[in-house]
Amino acid sequence: MRGMDALDAGLALLPLAISSFLASGGVHSLSQRMSPVQIVRLGLGLEIAALASLALLIRPGSSTWVTGVPLFVYGMGVGFATAQLTQLILADIPVEKSGQASSTQSTAWQVGSALGIAILGTALFTTLRASTESRLSDQIAADPGIGGLVDAVSHSAGALIAPLSQDPATAFVADAARQALTQGVSVAAWVGVVALVVGFLTTRRLGGTPASATPAPDERADDPVGDEQRTN
């Protein structure tokens, strides 16, 4: 939306990386006062708050503070939640099945990440195209060639907005696309909020007692070695 180059875009995302790193390192001290489930819920809550605020506040001319602060909070949430999830998910798995369970969990994580990218990307680019066409409907009806520019902007994921804005003849297309892209980011953020709320609600199923290697009472009763030790 702001025509940043690769370096500037990376710097804009730096708050997320920094806060995620700090949160991951601070989980140990936080775990002295909170259970793993509570830490995961705290992380998801921070992520929900960050995405909701981003969806509400972002505008085409927003400053880096409008995006930087939510990204920092989101990174904190990611650091808190991901540091505990694997332990919680595998807590009730018997030791002899831990390898298989870990592989399943890793596969599910990767599939979920791929689906998340696909769903959010679809929400973003569908909104970008539809909103741009809606804003330029009169101009497209008068000049079908403008529809080709809309297609090009959509296929470039908004990368053509900056070049189009530099040409007075196409600046109006860039303005419409910039507003549409902002709307797309907001829509994608709300989709993420819904997904995170669902994840937050599913944490009610987490936090069971970790599986123990201690044999069950009926197994101990049939254990002659254990009986002999208890007799002695």
- What domains, with CATH codes, occur in the chain? 13-208 (1.20.1250)
CB distance 192 to 120 below 8 Å: yes
Kindly report the number of other CB atoms within 10 A of residue 24's CB atom: 16
The residue that leads in pLDDT, 230 or 4, is 4
- For residue 126, the model assigns a pLDDT of 93
The span from the CA of 77 to the CA of 221, in Å, is 47
CB distance 34 to 42 below 8 Å: yes
137 CB-near residues (< 8 Å, 6+ apart) = none
203 CB-near residues (< 8 Å, 6+ apart) = 37, 40, 41, 44
- For residue 200, the model assigns a pLDDT of 92
- For residue 221, the model assigns a pLDDT of 45
**Residue 210 binned pLDDT confidence (cut-offs 50, 70, 90):** very low
Nearest residue to 185 (alpha-carbon basis) of 5, 92, 89, 58:
58
- For residue 229, the model assigns a pLDDT of 46
Q: Which of 50-64, 162-176, 214-228 has the lowest mean pLDDT?
A: 214-228
> Average of pLDDT values for 25-37?
84
**Token representation of residue 208:** 């069971």
- For residue 44, the model assigns a pLDDT of 94
pLDDT at 91 over 80: no
pLDDT at 219 over 50: no
CB distance 210 to 91 below 8 Å: yes
Place of tokens 């049939």: 222
**54 burial via Cβ count (<10 Å: 0-12, 13-18, 19+):** buried
Whole-angstrom CA distances from 232 to 98, 216, 217, 229 are: 35, 21, 19, 5
Q: Locate the DSSP E strands across 25-156.
A: none
- For residue 212, the model assigns a pLDDT of 42
CB distance 149 to 100 below 8 Å: no
pLDDT at 36 over 50: yes
- For residue 73, the model assigns a pLDDT of 95
The residue that leads in pLDDT, 157 or 75, is 75
> Average of pLDDT values for 188-197?
95
The amino acid at residue 57 is L
pLDDT at 19 over 80: yes
